[in-house]
Structure 1
Amino acid sequence: MKDFGYDIADFKAIQPEYGTMADFEALLKRASELGIKLIMDLVPNHTSDLHEWFQKSVNRVKGYEDFYVWHDGYPDPKNSSNRLPPSNWLSMFRGSAWKWNTKRQQFYLHQYLAEQPDLNYRNPLVIEAMEDVLTFWLDKGVAGFRVDSVPTVFEVKADSKGKYPDEPKSGLTSDPENADYLTHIYTQDQPETTELVYRTRAFLDEYQRKNGGDTRIILTEIYSPINIIMQYYGNGTYNGAHIPFNFNFIRRANGTSKAPDYAAVIALWMDNMPKQYTANWVIGNHDNRRVGSRYGPERIDSMNMLLMVLPGASVTYNGEEIGMLDVDISWNDTVDPAACNSNPQIFQQFTRDPARTPFQWDDSKNAGFSTANKTWLPIHPNYKQVNVKAELAAARSHLKVYKDLVQLRKTSRTLQRGDLKYKALNDNVLAVQRSLSGSNTILLLMNVSDKSQTVYVQQWSAAIPSTMKVRIASVQSKRNANETMKVSAITLDPYESLVLE
């Protein structure tokens, strides 16, 4: 593997390091017995260069000649034995997005690693092949797909002379190898990409119609402007992704943000999303630093509370429920290709390794994750304190807060169906109210600052009752669950957050 499995050599097999197909089927069966739905990670943009399709395409086997994006390139005026790439397009992992294949005597496009050639979705045979992959896993019983790297699936079509246009400079960096050196107007967010998502949604809906069962879901990974992301929901005629991921709490807020900044992030999604669709909130994932490292460890509970109280789907990256932090990883221990393709001076700009360290189960060797002498990435030195076993035993912990939040979401009709109201009560306190006729009001108060704050929530919302019960309190709070408190004036300690009912 060159990119932790995102370089797929066989879409219908299990990588041997992870087990066998029998293991996967046993996992599916047990998950179903526990009422857990399993969603597969689908990587449609590219395959491994070891994939049978690519090998056949290299050899121009009939039917596979145009499975990938190939181009002759151009003569090098300075070297007659050399060819120049078709365009200035850059890989997300640095350098040209074009690589010369000696055997085929053409360049192929790779928007990620050179070992990850881009599929050509302008070829209907590629779409058919990927739909066959979907059917394979749906027949196994998966509940749907998280679709990776969606914006790059299509690139602009070559012109009548077979030429691809150069992308303009962005002005964001002076490093010509960095993908951010260019503005990706020809290699990302092409209109055909949303159309493909609509087709995939129709394919899954038709599968459900024929085979019964629950909705087969699509979740799309998209770091794009808000107007483009919203197109992935649908266009009024066709339905698209059930959940186009909302990464705004990753991209637009951090530990320096004030309460109005949090409110603005909520508004950005809620004000742009068509009302018939379902919102979603993502505060962490495997491509970004951990919540406790971006927002500060003192805000871990606050962010999980916000995630769970807002309407719609809540998405948690493993480890955030126990408050795991980034690990400081040296250049010598770095394994992420996005960083390894750079150099010791700048790799920290690109590495995703700090948030990908082994999950911390207990205080035994390797945090209980592995019996190996050395894990693929180092364990955080705090693992003896921050682990599942310790947090289950503690009177208060991030894990217990998280479990209480999940239970509240499962039982509260207000959180499931209620209206949303939110406001920055001052620079440091965010209030989020959920209300539903005939059900209890839920109120989240978040103090994001290191100073005590007094707020008057009834002046903001007349729907707030004069007294409420504490349902969940952050670990640094002095308040306890089921404690009744008057809400006419509430003083929050530094970084204290409360869920009241």
Structure 2
Amino acid sequence: MSDWWKGAVTYQVYPRSFQDSNGDGVGDLPGITARLPYLADLGVDAVWLSPFFRSPMKDMGYDVSDYTDVDPVFGTLKDFDTFTARAHELGLKVMIDQVLSHSSDQHPFFAESRASRTGPKADWYVWADPNHDGTPPTNWLSVFGGPAWTWDGRRRQFYLHNFLTEQPDFNYHNPAVQDWALSVLRFWLDRGVDGFRFDTVNYFFHDPLLRSNPADPRDKAEPEANPYGMQYHLFDKNRPENLVWLSRIRAVLDEYGATSVGEVGESHHAIRMMGEYSAPGRLHQCYSFEMLGPDFSPAAFRQKIGDFFTDAPEGWPMWAFGNHDVPRQVTRWLSHGAGQDEIARQSGALLLSFEGSVCLWQGEELGQTDTELAFEELTDPQGIAFWPAPVGRDNTRTPMVWDDGPQGGFTTGTPWLPVKPPQLARNVASQLGQPGSVLEFYRSMLAFRRATPALRHGRTSFLDTPAPVLAFQRGTGPGAVLCLFNLSPATVALDFPGPVALTGPVQNAELSEGVLTLGPNAVAFFPLPG
């Protein structure tokens, strides 16, 4: 099969926030289709759509009530087919989310499951009797707050939900559930998608013995804002049965020549699990939240990339600095930069020079920051539950800004989340074709990666440079590239002998008389002699 995905760049589109075509304030499939030329011109290889399936929208589409239809707010199946055909015309691959570990509580399967302990779907979800004192069977917690168990008076049992109470977990110990999930994949593969992004890929299986999780062994000076992080999640997720299930998924994907990426939601062994889950015969690639936090140091990047390729030489990573679940990287890392543009350009160049595949989150090519929202403007259940910290996810999900007109060109109506002046100022129209803009820098960097085989496929060798400089070589022999980054707002000078010229996109870097001066947030690439 084709390995187009290996080293490719995928662009994540959040359908609610990309482009509204009918003025209802919510983005939709026709709107995305109209904007596909922008993505093709940007230079990405694939488009990943977050969920657009039928849903009550308790968790903005990650609570699915019909896995084989489009929610009317986003359009129709015909609109999806039009989107897919247009993407392929433009040379873009299509990846779509699959949220298969749990469903909406409005799914007909759950209604049938909760109605009876003996019906055909009785064992399709995770049900358990209470302890003798009426408490839940385990101490497992929901990511969104509170216990992971909710009492159902009809069955007189608890059901498991790792997220909202409205998102009951499927029981993947039941082979019929696995068979059904594979039929969902076939439905979308038959419609021409090129692959899937699997949500919460390490949550499919639970411990059938219902053992409680131990405490997180890492010392904590005080309770976390979300107590979910205070457990060591041995039994509610990360189970060994996941690996066998991923092999079944891979067999179906291989029938169609399709690809996959899995989201590993784990804080203890995420890099190791990325490797396990993307080993031969399982998923093609995996990403985690390892680079979606505050760490912005040479040591952090060396460790994460080095650990992956040391521990999982046959696996494949997808690296990302942002997505719909975390604050934008410019917001997280601005204190390490000389300014918003400088840190935006550098983070783009850094990510696009990493070994592995890459995923860009919509708007980061504009240097967007998080939107400051008042409590009454929030829609995210996680943000509402834990207000004021962690801040939740609405701040990064605000609409894409296309121009400086009303609502940034996103809608002619009232947007589902507000477009505020700091975001409006960083729009596509004002940056397109403007030398030095963040958008044009991203376009140049994407073109450089595509034209440089070493950046897509070359192995990584880190150089022993003092902080704040991160330096590594991609590839060997003719075509190899040396990549240098000053991860600070202070100027650094390095001895750099040899008559060699800079190549590719450059920021605040100058080579003169054997001295390489790396200014604030400098980016420098050098071709290496064969």
Which of 249, 263, 266 in structure 2 is aligned with 1:221? 263
Structure 1 residue identity aligned to 2:395: P
Q: Secondary structure at the match of 1:204?
A: helix
- Distance in 2, matches of 1:294 and 1:44, equals 30
Query: Of residues 114, 125, 129 in structure 2, which corresponds to 1:68?
Result: 125
Within a 5 Å distance, the mapping from 1:67-466 to structure 2 comes to 67-76=124-133, 83-158=134-209, 164-170=210-216, 172=220, 174=223, 178-205=227-254, 207-208=255-256, 215-224=257-266, 225=269, 226-234=271-279, 239-251=281-293, 253-254=295-296, 257=297, 259-274=298-313, 276-296=314-334, 297=340, 298-342=342-386, 346-373=387-414, 375-423=415-463, 425-439=465-479, 441-458=480-497, 466=499
Contact 1:365/1:371 (8 A) holds in 2: yes
The CA distance in 1 between the partners of 2:476 and 2:135, in whole Å, is 63
Going from structure 1 to structure 2, the CA distance change for 1:152 and 1:281 (only over 3 Å counts) comes to same
Report whether the alignment pairs 1:34 with 2:90: yes
Q: CA deviation at 1:442?
A: 2.2
Rg (Cα) greater in structure: 1
1:434 Cα deviation after fit: 2.2
Match of 2:114 among 44, 58, 61: 58
Counterpart code for 1:167 = N
SS at match of 1:271: helix
Task: Kindly state the Cα deviation for residue 411 of structure 1 after the two structures are TM-superposed.
Answer: 1.5
Partner of residue 80, structure 2: 24
Conserved? CA contact 1:95–1:177, under 8 Å: no
Distance 1:456 1:149 in 2: 46
SS of aligned partner of 2:462: strand
**8 Å CA contact 1:305, 1:499 repeated in 2:** no
Q: CA deviation at 1:350?
A: 5.0
Aligned partner of 1:211 in structure 2 is none
TM value normalised by structure 2: 0.82
Q: Once the two structures are superposed, what CA deviation does each residue of 1:205-256 show, in whole Å capped at 9, x if it has no partner?
A: 1x22xxxxxx31110000331323321122xxx51111111432224723xx
Task: Tell me the percent identity.
Answer: 31
Q: Give the aligned CA root-mean-square deviation in angstroms.
A: 2.1
Q: CA deviation at 1:263?
A: 2.4
- Is 1:328–1:354's contact at 8 Å kept on the other side of the alignment? yes
Counterpart of 1:233, as a letter, is S
Matched, 1:490 2:516: yes
Contact 2:59 2:381 in 1 (8 A): yes
Aligned equivalents of 1:327 and 1:200: distance in 2? 38
**SS state of the match for residue 446, structure 2?**
helix
Q: What is the one-letter code of the residue matched to 1:306?
A: L
AA aligned opposite 1:303: S
Instruction: Report the Cα distance in structure 1 between the residues aligned to 2:264 and 2:373, rounded to whole angstroms.
Output: 27
Moved more, 88-97 or 238-247: 238-247
SS at match of 1:316: strand
Say if 1:384 and 1:87 are closer, same or farther in 2 by CA, change over 3 A. closer
When normalised by structure 1's length, the TM-score is 0.86
Q: Provide the C-alpha distance between the structure 1 equivalents of 2:65 and 2:86, rounded to a whole number of angstroms.
A: 27
Aligned 8 A contact 1:8 1:47 in 2: yes
Asked if the contact 2:130/2:137 (under 8 Å) is kept, the reply is: yes
Number of matched pairs: 458
Distance in 1, Cα, partners of 2:234 & 2:485: 39
Long gaps (5+) in structure 1:
77-82, 159-163, 209-214, 459-464, 480-484
Q: More relative contact order in 1 or in 2 (CA 8 Å, sep 6+)?
A: 2
